[in-house]
Each structure stands twice: as structure tokens, then as C-alpha cells.
Structure 1
Amino acid sequence: MPAPDRLDLTLRLVRGSGRLTLADLADRLGVSEMTVRRDLDQLQSHGLVRRVRGGAVALDVPADEAGFDVRAQWQAATKARLGAATAALIEPGGTVLLDAGTTTAAVAAALAARFGASSPPLTVAALSLQAAVRLADQPGIRLIVMGGESRAGERSLVGPLALSALDQLRFDTFVMSIGAVHHDLGWSEFDLDDAAVKRAALRRAGRTVVVADATKLGVQAFARVAPLDAADTLVTSGVTSGVTSGPAGSDGAAAETLTALRAAGVDVITTDNPEEPLS
């Protein structure tokens, strides 16, 4: 697995569990404990986790409040390709609900580049402060910032205000990010608040396009969002002949998940995913 993907998955696993040992992480990632130690040291240097004896614990708020900015640098070119492929599925004049996350922030940037002043206005409602920043004052984009509480380190908008706002609106397309997708559990997330917002958003959209890199395939997270057939399209990366660049030992689950997605009627669109250096 490319180092940026491994760091991203390590962070999500620690945040999802609250605390994990070196042995647990090494087993789930299919790498040595020495590699896990180096990765955790790097995550700690960015204020994303705290190293403890024999493992690491999650931080509610990153020490430098730069969790989103740091993660956005990982696999930046891959996220840009995913963003462009997703933006290409959006037609002018429609209404789009854009989920939170580093990849959907790349979708926001791609939408801003795709739609100009000469296009029929595209209405985009953002569930992310970072996506909103990328779309603000862009010609051809009518921006709506959804209400809610900004979740520290993620800058996603969650909570009762976000759920209430969603209940008042209807969208042509929901562009959803996801923490994990598995053939048994379906779409799932590591945070209960994020999962609740996604469930509400799914009910308010005519179609759902999920955008997620291949490390999410074959993974089960804490909070179930929806069954596989809740989505219409998955835009992903690094899939070759049904095998992904996920953790060692997870290729079987990832391939089985891809098969299950297609059987559920989900259109799977893939982009290339060459190994990139860590920024």
C-alpha cells in the first residue's frame, strides 16, 4: 500500500476505535510493528494521534488543528483525479449536495473549474467548510452552506441544525464521501454524527454518487450508513482486475465488495492510482 494510503487508513482506524495497539494495527494493515511505529510517530508529529505505550489513542481535537490540511496533502493527485471524474457526472443547472471530506473538497475544486459564468448556474449545498471555501464567489456556482456544528479536525457540518436543514431541501445529486464499504455491512462511517448526516442526505437526493479511494473497499467501520444499493455510482481509484491497493490481506474482501456493489446495481467508475510520494 502506498504510504499516504496507509497513513490515512491508520488514522481512520485509530479514530474509529479510540485506542489501538501496535499489534492490532500491524495485523489489520498487514505490515510490521516497526512500520506502524514510524507511521504513528509521523501522525503524532502532525497532532493527529497521541502515542502511548504499545499503541496510540485518538485525539478529539488535533493539537495544531490542522488535521484536515495535513490529510488533504496525502494522495493529492489521486484526490484531484477522483474530483474531476465526479464533477464530470454533474450537469449544469442542477442541485448538488456535497458531503464533507478531503476528497469531496477536491470535488468542489473540480466543480468550480468545470462550471463557469457561461453555464446555467449550478446550485451546490456544502456540508463542509473546506468545500464551501473552494466554491465561494465562483462564477456559475450558487453556493449554499448548510447549518450545523463544525466537527473539530474534520470541518464537517453535523448535529441537529444540519439534520434540520437537510429536511427542508431536495437535491438532484448527493456526492457522498465514505469511511468504509463492505459487502456485508454496506456503507459505513467511523463517526456517529457523520453517519447520521449521511443517512439524512441519502433520503433527500434523487441519486447518490459516492467518491472514495480504494482503501475504503472491503473495510467495516463503526456506524452503518446504508446498504450497498443506496448508492447509484461509486467513483474510486486503484482498482485493477478487482484487486485494490488496500491493506495486505484485504484484497479478497475488497474484490468481493466490488462484486457485491455491481450486483447491487451500483455503477463503478475507476481512475488510475499510481503510487505517489508523501507530501
Structure 2
Amino acid sequence: MKAEGRRQGILDLLMEAGTATVEELSAHFDVSRMTIHRDLDQLEQEGLLRKVRGGASVQSSGQFESDFRYRQRLAGPEKQRIAVAAASLVEPGQTIIVDDSSTAGGIAAHLADIRPLTVITNNLGVIQELSGAAGITLIALGGQYSKKFHGFFGLVTDEALRSLRADVAFVSTSSIHGVRAFHQDQEVVQTKRLMLAAAERKYLLADHGKFGRPALHFFAGLDRFDAVLTGEEPPAPMRKALHEAGIKLTVTGKA
């Protein structure tokens, strides 16, 4: 197997397992440990995984956000409940912004019953789902495509957002610490901030696993949002902190 195919195979394996040791990868691909180390070094340099002691992982850390394919596999039922609750906040005729996240992207499946709508997004999955949909005016934000985030970012994306206005923005984040939201990637943070600036109402969508998780870059205070939507109750100390700060927390509850 050539290096390119083997590295894609490593990623595919990690998308299923989350982590793997060098020994496991060496045996699976029938190559030396040194070859696997070179593969992991290259994939880490491309931002597609992180090396850990004895192996590699695509799971999130304070400085590394998972590939969208791995994130899509996490908390699926909860994210679906959040998407349904978010869609209930949309009215026909509105303009909404949907960010690159798998959580916010779930809204797309529920928009056909609310049309007509204008949808602004940098999320390639949402663009693909809504392109050509009757009653949906789709504004796809240009920019540089990120395979890791399955969306568009950069100067072109940000300039487009500065020229647009929307009724509602739905965004997610990878970390909620106290009453502030954080993310590992500063370019993603910049785009999300501009989405908030472009919208009259703003909602943060986050599965309960985001509460207390670390991330490097400050994104926004939770007081910037009209509400935080989650699918399960966060731990009691976090609920208390949100209540004392006057943050509206909406828990969708299990079906």
C-alpha cells in the first residue's frame, strides 16, 4: 500500500475507534513502527490527528478539535433533539445563519416545513442538503474549504459575513467553561464571532458533553446568546453558575 492510501486507512480506522496504538497500526497495515510514526507525524502536521503516548487519537483535547466525521458519530440522538428544538425557533420568511458544526447542521433536515427561508451557511453538509430545495434561498459562504471541519473559512468567508444580516444565528462550540464558550481553532472562532455580529438573535447549541471540556481560544461569553440549547442537564455546579449569571438554558430532554 502506498503512503497516501495507508494514511487514509489510518484516519478511517481512527474515525471508528477514536484511538489506536502504534503497535496496532503497524500490525494492521503490515509495516514497521517507524513507518507508522512517519505517517502519524505527517497526519498530525496536517491537523488531522494528534499523537499521544504510544499511538494517535482523533478525540478532542484542549488544543485539538476532532474531524467532523468523528464528531458526527458522537451524541447523535441528543444532537437531533437539539436540532428539533432549534428549528422550532425559526419562523417562515426569516433569514438564518447555520455554522459548520454537526450540531447546528442538523437543523437543515427540519427546514422544509418552515419555508420560505433564507439560509446563510459555511457548512458544506448543509449546502449539499439544501441546494435546490424548494422555498429555500441558499447563500453559501465562500472561502477556503477545510476537510477537517467540512466547511469554508478564511478571509473570503469573513468578508461575506460582514456584508450580511440575519434574523437568527445557530452556532455551536467545542467547550463551555463556566459562563464562557471556547474553541480550539482561532480561524473557526473568528468566523463564528462574525456570525453572531450579523444576527439579531443568537443561539448556542451544545450537547451536554461540551460542558466542562477544555479548549484553547475564547469564543464568546454565554450572555451573548438569547439561549443555550442542550440535550441533557449539565452537572449541578454548572447549572448553578449559568443561573447566577442569568444565562437562559434550554434542555430538550430525552424523547
- The match for 2:84 is 84
Alpha-carbon shift at residue 111 of structure 1 (Å) = 1.9
Is this contact kept in 1: 2:162–2:194, CA < 8 A?
A: yes
Aligned counterpart for 1:165 among listed residues 143, 160, 163:
160
Matches within 5 A, 1:111-260: 111-112=111-112, 114-115=113-114, 119=115, 121-183=116-178, 186-239=180-233, 244=234, 251=235, 255-260=236-241
Q: Deviations over 1:105-157 (max 9, x none)?
A: 21111223x32xxx4x2111012111111222222211110111111221122
Is this contact kept in 1: 2:18–2:57, CA < 8 A?
A: no
Alpha-carbon shift at residue 75 of structure 1 (Å) = 2.9
| Count of residue pairs the alignment pairs up | 210
Alpha-carbon shift at residue 264 of structure 1 (Å) = 3.5
Q: Deviations over 1:195-216 (max 9, x none)?
A: 1111111111111111110011
Identity level (%): 31
Q: Deviations over 1:191-237 (max 9, x none)?
A: 11111111111111111111110011123311101112111111101
Aligned counterpart for 2:250 among listed residues 245, 259, 269:
269
Q: Hey, what's the Cα distance between the residues in 1 that align with 2:251 and 2:57?
A: 34
Structure 1 residues 57 and 73, CA, compared in 2 at 3 Å: closer, same or farther?
closer
Give the match's secondary structure for 2:246. coil
Q: Deviations over 1:136-190 (max 9, x none)?
A: 2222211110111111221122111111001101111110111111116x11111
Q: Hey, what's the Cα distance between the residues in 2 that align with 1:211 and 1:50?
A: 26
Q: Hey, what's the Cα distance between the residues in 2 that align with 1:169 and 1:89?
A: 20
Alpha-carbon shift at residue 260 of structure 1 (Å) = 3.0
Q: Hey, what's the Cα distance between the residues in 2 that align with 1:136 and 1:87?
A: 18
Long gaps (5+) in structure 2: 1-16, 29-42, 60-65
Structure 1 residues 52 and 206, CA, compared in 2 at 3 Å: closer, same or farther?
closer
Q: Normalising by structure 2, report the TM-score.
A: 0.73
Is this contact kept in 1: 2:141–2:157, CA < 8 A?
A: yes
Q: Hey, what's the Cα distance between the residues in 1 that align with 2:122 and 2:242?
A: 25
Is this contact kept in 2: 1:214–1:238, CA < 8 A?
A: yes
Structure whose alpha-carbon radius of gyration is higher: 2
CA RMSD of aligned residues (A): 2.7
